[in-house]
């Protein structure tokens, strides 16, 4: 039996960050559940984690928390049960028991999902639009970002369409990626995003339809949490031994 004062249990970046801010050991019950286009990550400065994006931040933070022993059994939790102790089974069927106060950061799953439909831009005119929004839950926002695919022009922007759905809508063809495509194209046309120039006749420009290929859909469940990501981000950082170790590594990197 392993003893700790407290162990934070969850599965989101908010949980991971709360654990780091409080310098409290953490167990993630599954891979981290999030999408880079989630609006709660917008406008935050991740430079303290040597990162520019939420993906880089999560990667760096997971590494340092594993290195310093704050993140327990990373990617190695098969099941977890809480009674008077924290009982954990690893992926190789090893049983580990912790005598600690469990702090359930991510509670019960909500009825709603944040749904992200990702599309690859295939044909259209280059544009400077970063985001489009609507007042509806379905196709509520389109985020454009520089493509990281090989062999595409440097000004190519892929896109992700963000929606809020319940479980019934997720299974309905009326909310499938084909309908998402149609609504997204209408939103882009309204905003003046054009397809490829087809011809110029009598001084008037005619454009072809925008072409984009569906890549994948990710459905991220919502959880009842102790706090949101931004609130955890703004917390005062406790400066215990793991934090001091990270700062030493950052300092060595700056002078190397």
pLDDT at 12 over 80: yes
Q: How far is CA 101 from the centre of its chain?
A: 28
User: In the structure, what pLDDT confidence band is assigned to residue 249 with cuts at 50, 70 and 90?
Assistant: confident
pLDDT at 206 over 90: no
φ and ψ at 62, to 5 degrees? -60, -40
pLDDT in tens, 171-200: 999 999 999 999 999 999 999 999 888 888
CATH of domain 2-105+226-255: 3.50.50
For the segment 36-54, the average pLDDT, to the nearest whole number, is 95
Residue ranges covered by each domain of the chain: 2-105+226-255, 111-221
pTM of the model: 0.91
For the segment 41-60, the average pLDDT, to the nearest whole number, is 96
pLDDT in tens, 99-119: 999 999 999 999 999 999 999
Question: Quick one: 171 exposed, middle or buried, by C-beta within 10 A (0-12, 13-18, 19+)?
Answer: exposed
**Exposure b/e, 206-233, CB count within 10 A at least 16 = b:** eeeebebeeeeeeebeebebbeebeebb
CB 81 within 8 A of CB 73: no
Model pLDDT, residue 182: 97
pLDDT at 207 over 90: no
CA-to-CA distance for 66 and 10, rounded, in angstroms?
16
Model pLDDT, residue 199: 85
pLDDT at 46 over 70: yes
pLDDT in tens, 54-88: 999 999 999 999 999 999 999 999 999 999 999 99
What are 252's two structure tokens?
Answer: 């060595």
For the segment 206-217, the average pLDDT, to the nearest whole number, is 94
């Amino acid at each position: 039996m392993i003893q700790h004062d407290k162990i934070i249990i969850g599965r989101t970046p908010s949980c991971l960050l709360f654990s780091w801010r409080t310098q409290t050991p953490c167990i993630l019950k599954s891979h981290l559940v999030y999408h880079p286009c989630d609006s709660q990550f917008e406008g935050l400065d991740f430079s303290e984690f040597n990162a520019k994006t939420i993906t880089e931040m999560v990667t760096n933070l997971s590494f340092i928390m594993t290195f310093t022993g704050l993140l327990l059994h990373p990617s190695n939790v098969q099941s977890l049960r809480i009674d008077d102790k924290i009982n954990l089974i690893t992926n190789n069927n090893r049983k580990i028991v912790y005598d600690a106060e469990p702090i359930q950061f991510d509670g019960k799953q909500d009825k709603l999902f944040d749904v992200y439909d990702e599309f690859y831009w295939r044909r259209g005119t280059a544009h400077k639009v970063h985001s489009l929004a609507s007042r509806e839950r379905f196709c509520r926002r389109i985020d454009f970002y520089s493509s990281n695919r090989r062999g595409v022009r440097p000004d190519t922007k892929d896109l992700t369409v963000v929606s809020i759905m319940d479980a019934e809508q997720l299974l309905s063809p009326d909310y499938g990626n084909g309908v998402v495509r149609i609504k997204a194209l209408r939103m882009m046309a309204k905003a003046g995003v054009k397809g490829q120039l087809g011809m110029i006749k009598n001084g008037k420009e005619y454009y072809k339809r925008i072409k984009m290929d569906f890549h994948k859909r990710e459905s991220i469940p919502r959880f009842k949490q102790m706090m949101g990501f931004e609130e955890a981000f703004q917390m005062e950082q406790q400066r215990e031994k793991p934090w001091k170790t990270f700062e030493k590594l950052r300092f060595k990197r700056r002078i190397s």
